[in-house]
Structure 1
Amino acid sequence: MNESEFHQLVDETLDQVESLLDDAETDLDVDLNNGVLTVICENGSRIILTRQTPVKQLWLATRQDGFHFDWQEGEWVENKKGGTLSSRLTEAFKDQAGETLAFSFQ
């Protein structure tokens, strides 16, 4: 995947997350700017997704841990533990915001 394709894929993913959060009836503050999606939960904790162009990864930061994802066979897969972005986001929003949200990226 070249850099342009990577940027497009990440932009689509971040747009999907932002759209899902905007459509959900939650009290989350969502900001998408220059490849960084920041979600501030009601309790003040943050969930952050960032584009990492040099390594062509999407990074997720939660209050529990940080995760690095590679695009593999049509989905974002964590490079060390093998979890998916969808499952990690679902866990993070349940833990930090008390919200049950379903994510799907393909």
Structure 2
Amino acid sequence: MSQAAYNEAIEATLIAIEDALDNCDWDIDYERADAVLTLTLEDNGSQVILSRQSAVQELWVAARSGGYHLSFDDSANKPAWKCSTTGEDLPTLLDRVLSEQQGEPVSLNLDI
């Protein structure tokens, strides 16, 4: 993947996450500082951090349960960010780690 294609994919992904957070039923604040998007669960103050890793063309997710490295897989019918350790796509991974940290099911209804 070219660097330009990676930058376009990551930017579209971060915007989609921000849009999903604006429309979800949970009190999840977010702050974006250049290459880092920090999600804060208002109920308990825990955070999930997404960071752009341009050098390796990955998206990293840091949560209480660990760190996850996702690569953009455009070989399938629907391109998606896939975790190298769990095999989860980004929407599934985010819902899981947010649910674990919230202590109840969280769904962002993220469509990317």
Q: TM-score normalised to the size of structure 1?
A: 0.90
Asked if the contact 1:52/1:59 (under 8 Å) is kept, the reply is yes
User: For residues 26 and 5 of structure 2, what CA distance do their matches in structure 1 show?
Assistant: 32
Aligned residues between the structures: 105
Aligned partners of 2:105, 2:59: CA distance in 1, in Å?
22
Identical amino acids, percent of aligned pairs: 30
Contact 2:26 2:106 (8 Å CA) reproduced: no
Give the alignment partner of residue 95 of structure 2, picking from 83, 86, 90. 90
Which residue identity does 2:11 align to in structure 1? D
Secondary structure in 1 aligned to 2:49? Answer: strand
Alignment of structure 1 residues 51-66 onto 2, 5 Å? 51-66=52-67
Q: Distance in 2 between matches of 1:5 and 1:11?
A: 10
Letter in 2 for 1:84: D
> Aligned in 2, Cα 1:17/1:99: closer, same or farther, shift over 3 Å?
farther
Aligned to 2:49: 48
Report the RMSD for the aligned CA atoms in angstroms. 1.3
In structure 1, the gaps of 5 or more residues are: none
AA of the residue aligned to 2:39: V
What is aligned with 1:13? 13
Q: Distance in 1 between matches of 2:92 and 2:66?
A: 14
Runs of 4+ in 1 over 4 A off after TM superposition: none
Q: Could you say if the C-alpha distance between residues 2 and 92 of structure 1 is closer, same or farther in structure 2, counting changes exceeding 3 Å?
A: same
The CA deviation at 1:95 is 1.5
**Comparing both chains, which one has the higher relative contact order based on Cα–Cα distances under 8 Å and sequence gaps of 6 or more?**
2
CA deviations on 1:55-103 (whole Å, 9 max, x unpaired) are: 0000011111110001113111111332211111010121123452132
Alpha-carbon distance in structure 2 between the residues aligned to 1:12 and 1:99: 25
- 1:39 is matched with 39
Residue ranges of structure 2 left out of the alignment (5+ in a row): none
